[in-house]
Amino acid sequence: MNEGNEQDVLLAVTDSLGMPRDGVEYRDTWIHKLRKTSRCEIVARTKRAATTKRLYSDDSLERYDPDIVVTQLGIVDCAPRYSNNIERRLFRSFPSRLTKRYMAVMKRVRARKARRSYVSVEDFRSYLNDYYERAMSNDITVYSIIIAPPSSTFIDSNPRIESETNRYNKIYESVTRKYDGVCLINPYQQVRNVDAIMVDNEHPNPGGHDLIYESVAKALSNTTTDTL
């Protein structure tokens, strides 16, 4: 932590779960709520469809040199998919109309499979270890928000999402235990009805953002007096 009057820098690295969308205004997001109450300077690095590969390939950890990092990643990594990585790379060179037709056929003849997820369990573990080790070597405290349990509509559309969410969260648990400066945040421990905190299949509604904000703020308050 910085001494004197200099603000600590908090870097928030999230996928679309930390961003506004239909039904969730920016002022509803947990990042905005934290900005209102924290004395940290908060830098938000949010990106739709981001995976933990971003932790490995992005240099924001070194460029911003934060004191604290909060990550919210994983659901994009673990979700079973119709297409594999090779097919997805090929799709980028096709006109969108052809890709849409191909995917329409694929959805009729294929099921979503965990082996076709964006990030394998091995890579997921590797990306987390790499990021946490870099953070520890620079005396940066990291808080990682676990992957939220899936809503009923998400399970209906992607039946294996619940088991894959649990599998990747177990990797989160095993990896974070290795590092004294890394803490796992679970905002969903007391949630009995996941649908009540979601605006769609996987994105939190304003109430869901409140839960995340409260959990992050509580975790930060245990390590710094600069928050809340």
DSSP letter for 190, please.
T
Angle of helix 161-176 versus helix 121-137 axis, rounded to 10: 30
Structure tokens at 102: 């191909």
Please give the structure tokens belonging to residue 202: 């996987």
Write the pLDDT tens digit of every residue in 173-186: 999 999 999 999 99
Question: Where are the chain's structural domains?
Answer: 9-80+119-221, 82-116
- With bands split at pLDDT 50, 70 and 90, how would you rate the model's confidence at 3? low
43 beta partners: 11
In the sheet that holds 41-46, the strands lie side by side as 41-46, 9-14, 68-72, 141-145, 182-185
The 8-class DSSP code of residue 227 comes to B
Question: Which CATH code, of 3.40.50.1110, 3.90.550.10, 3.40.50.300, 3.50.50.60, is assigned to 9-80+119-221?
Answer: 3.40.50.1110
Residue 215: Cβ within 10 Å count: 19
Query: Is the pLDDT score of 159 beyond 90?
Result: yes
pLDDT digits over 69-93, tens only?
Answer: 999 999 999 999 978 887 777 877 8
What count of Cα atoms within 13 Å lies in the side-chain half-sphere of residue 9? Answer: 15
Pair 148, 188: CB distance under 8 Å: yes
Report the alpha-carbon distance of residue 188 to residue 20 in Å, rounded: 20
pTM for the structure as a whole: 0.90
124: tokens are: 């997921």
- The total of other beta-carbon atoms located within 10 Å of residue 220's CB is 25
Angle, CA of 126, 217 and 220, to the nearest 5°: 60
Best CA proximity match to 200, nearest among 133, 151, 161: 151
